[in-house]
Amino acid sequence: MIIAIDGPAGAGKSTVARRLAERLGAAFLDTGAMYRAVTLACFQRGIDPSDAQACAATARSLEIGFESDGTMTVDGAPTDPAIRSEDVNLRVSEVSAHAGVRETIVAQQRAVAERLGDVVAEGRDTTTVVFPQADLKVYLDASPAERARRRAAEVGRPDKVERIEAALRARDAHDSGRAHSPLRYDPQAALVLTDGLGVDAVVDRILALVEERR
Ligand code: C5P
């Protein structure tokens, strides 16, 4: 069984997908973490994120592994927490927009799902491109203000909420406006708006959708 969840930055996809996977005994596939790992590797190798060829070569050179609990490894080592840094946040959309990067990473995502079987995947194009045959598709969204508030609380900087909202909006615009696999709502997806909803309420709503399809 494959459950695919897409939506903009900060909609709560990772938290919800991880918990849903736990509840279902499925593997959790954080596809954004893979693009973040490629971006970090580009920084470490002195590659300009605008260089499509070099970014694609970097993606091909990385050995990205997934354990069934969702733990990601890069070249056999635990993932560097720096994939969540501000620097990566600012450039990941540029790196992930290159067709050559996506080709490699999408192939790996499909291979992981093939190997792990039951998977809850989340990202920007998991419903539309990576797993168009998913058993359940969900589009998770919330207002930009709510998403920024949550992200600011997560990083312990409620004073930075306005800056965070601007950054989220910029990343969404980039991810929705790109030529290859843009973030878009798949008409087959259930739209779940999470303003004012806690994680458990969202997970329960998606679990109810899973049950309907069983
Ligand atoms: O989900 P997360 O915020 O970690 O994703 C980081 C970035 O990776 C996104 O802003 C987007 O540019 C890229 N991404 C993507 N396709 C996916 C998942 C993430 O292009 N399926």
* pLDDT tens for each residue of 172-202: 999 999 999 999 999 999 999 999 999 999 9
Pocket test for ligand 1, best of 124, 171, 183 (most atoms within 8 A of CB): 124
Mean pLDDT value across the chain: 96
Q: For 105-126, write each residue's pLDDT tens digit.
A: 999 999 999 999 999 999 999 9
Q: Is the CB of 29 under 6 A from ligand 1?
A: no
Q: Do 180 and 155 form a contact (C-beta atoms < 8 A)?
A: no
CA of 93 to the centre of ligand 1 (A): 7
69 pLDDT exceeds 80? no
Question: ipTM of the predicted structure?
Answer: 0.98
| Phi, psi dihedrals of residue 96, rounded to the nearest 5° | -75, -10
- Residue 181, pLDDT score: 96
CA of 169 to the centre of ligand 1 (A): 13
CA of 31 to the centre of ligand 1 (A): 7
- Residue 83, pLDDT score: 98
Provide, rounded to the nearest whole percent, the portion of the chain with pLDDT above 70: 100
Q: If DSSP codes are grouped into helix, strand and coil, which group holds residue 6?
A: strand
213 pLDDT exceeds 90? no
79 pLDDT exceeds 90? yes
Residues 6+ away with beta carbon under 8 Å from 76: 63, 65
Identify the H or E element spanning 78.
Answer: strand 77-78
Residues 6+ away with beta carbon under 8 Å from 95: 35, 38, 39, 42, 49, 55, 101
The CATH 3.40.50.300 domain(s) of the chain lie at 1-26+120-210, 31-117
Q: Is the CB of 93 under 6 A from ligand 1?
A: yes
CA of 197 to the centre of ligand 1 (A): 23
214 pLDDT exceeds 90? no
Closest listed residue to residue 9, CA positions, set 93, 115, 107, 127: 93
Q: For 131-170, write each residue's pLDDT tens digit.
A: 999 999 999 999 999 999 999 998 899 999 999 999 999 9
74 pLDDT exceeds 80? yes
Q: Which CATH number fits domain 31-117: 1.20.1250.20, 3.40.50.12780, 3.90.1150.10, 3.40.50.300?
A: 3.40.50.300
The domain over range 1-26+120-210 is classified in CATH as 3.40.50.300: yes
31 pLDDT exceeds 90? yes
Q: Is the pTM of this model over 0.90?
A: yes
72 pLDDT exceeds 80? yes
